[in-house]
């Protein structure tokens, strides 16, 4: 299937992380240019290196998605270096487990600021250019936790991901008349540092909830992101694509 992504420019937040890096790798294989953005610049640089080794133009840029000024600086630098932004993938995020007792107001703010407000701020910075050119596609990282009963994730994480799904639908409606699509993916547990950081017994418990009997790979999530970003999904907007090995079905 020709995804029609060749020659397009992507801005990926959380690009130093597992899903962000695999998305950058797949985009480079498809012939795209990639701005790899992360609060950990060294992680973004490593990802930009992956893209360059595959022959793609790449830029590594530091960004704190919770800061409007930092987001403006990073997206502006990417537009100047790579010409424009055609695709935005919001991967920056943090994960917390536990019940209400573990969520102090400060911990709530920290998580919601990164996972939800950060997604909003980067969409807000990227959209004017996309709307002006009547061309663009945004893919947000939601989670199975934002769609159904969650056993491990903290209430703050669950709320942030449900918020990302709502934000995706709202922006999709507002952007559709301008030729810009906004979608999300909702992965179940994925084999990245986010899950590898859990105790082995919790990882094993998660796997027992998945009919396919294993974690998703970051590559599998990247393939879903690439589909939604591409012309193959030209009539898909406001959608949240489940990707969970059968753990949750509607
Ligand atoms: N791994 C999973 O099981 C899973 C499942 C569902 C959804 N997700 C979501 O997918 C996204 C990517 O997750 P991952 O598994 O690649 O995690 P990861 O921990 O490997 O990567 C997350 C990246 O986000 C970056 N980041 C954190 N705070 C930031 C900030 N303020 N500004 C910019 N960057 C920041 C980190 O430095 C890191 O590189 C997250 O939104 C996560 O919630 C992950």
Within-domain flag for 56? yes
Task: Give the pLDDT score at 151.
Answer: 81
Specify if 135 maps to a domain: yes
Task: Kindly tell me if the per-residue pLDDT of 250 is higher than 90.
Answer: no
pTM of the model: 0.98
In a domain, 249, yes or no: no
250: in domain: no
* Contact status, residue 188 vs residue 247, Cβ threshold 8 Å: yes
Is residue 83 one of the residues assigned to a domain?
yes
For the Cβ of 74 lying below 6 angstroms from any atom of ligand 1, the answer is no
Phi-psi bin for 165: left (phi > 0), alpha (psi -120 to 50), beta? alpha
Assigned domain for 3 exists: no
Nearest 10 degrees: Cα torsion 42, 44, 47, 51:
-120
User: What digits encode the pLDDT tens for the residues 219-249?
Assistant: 999 999 999 999 999 999 999 999 999 999 9
Flag whether pLDDT at 1 surpasses 80: no
- Distance (Å) from CA 177 to ligand 1 centroid: 31
* Domains of the chain: total: 1
Cα 217 to middle of ligand 1, angstroms: 14
Domain-embedded: residue 247: no
Mind listing the pLDDT tens digit for each residue in 176-196? 999 999 999 999 999 999 999
In a domain, 1, yes or no: no
CATH number for the domain spanning 41: value is 3.40.50.720
Structural domain range at position 31 = 9-242
Nearest alpha carbon to residue 183 among 230, 147, 215, 216 = 230
């Amino acid at each position: 299937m020709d995804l029609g992504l060749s020659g397009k420019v992507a801005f990926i937040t959380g690009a130093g992380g597992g899903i962000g890096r695999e998305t950058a790798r797949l985009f480079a294989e498809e012939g795209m240019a990639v701005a790899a953005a992360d609060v950990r610049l060294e992680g973004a640089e490593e990802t930009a290196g992956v893209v360059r080794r595959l022959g793609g133009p790449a830029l590594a840029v530091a960004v704190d998605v919770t800061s409007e000024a930092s987001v403006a600086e990073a997206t502006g630098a990417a537009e100047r270096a790579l010409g424009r932004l055609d695709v935005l993938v919001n991967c920056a995020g943090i994960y917390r487990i536990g019940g209400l007792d573990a969520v102090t107001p400060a911990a709530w703010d920290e998580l919601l600021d990164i996972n939800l407000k950060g997604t909003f701020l980067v969409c807000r910075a990227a959209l004017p250019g996309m709307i002006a050119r009547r061309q663009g596609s945004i893919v947000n990282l939601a989670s199975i936790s934002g769609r159904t009963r969650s056993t491990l994730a903290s209430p703050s994480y669950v709320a942030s991901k449900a918020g990302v799904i709502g934000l995706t639908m709202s922006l999709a409606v507002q952007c559709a008349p301008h030729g810009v699509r906004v979608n999300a993916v909702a992965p179940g547990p994925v084999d990245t540092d986010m899950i590898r950081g859990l105790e082995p017994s919790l990882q094993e418990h998660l796997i027992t909830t998945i009919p396919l009997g294993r974690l998703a790979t970051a590559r599998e999530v990247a393939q879903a992101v690439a589909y939604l970003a591409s012309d193959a999904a030209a009539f898909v907007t406001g959608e949240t694509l489940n990707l969970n090995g059968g753990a949750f079905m509607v």
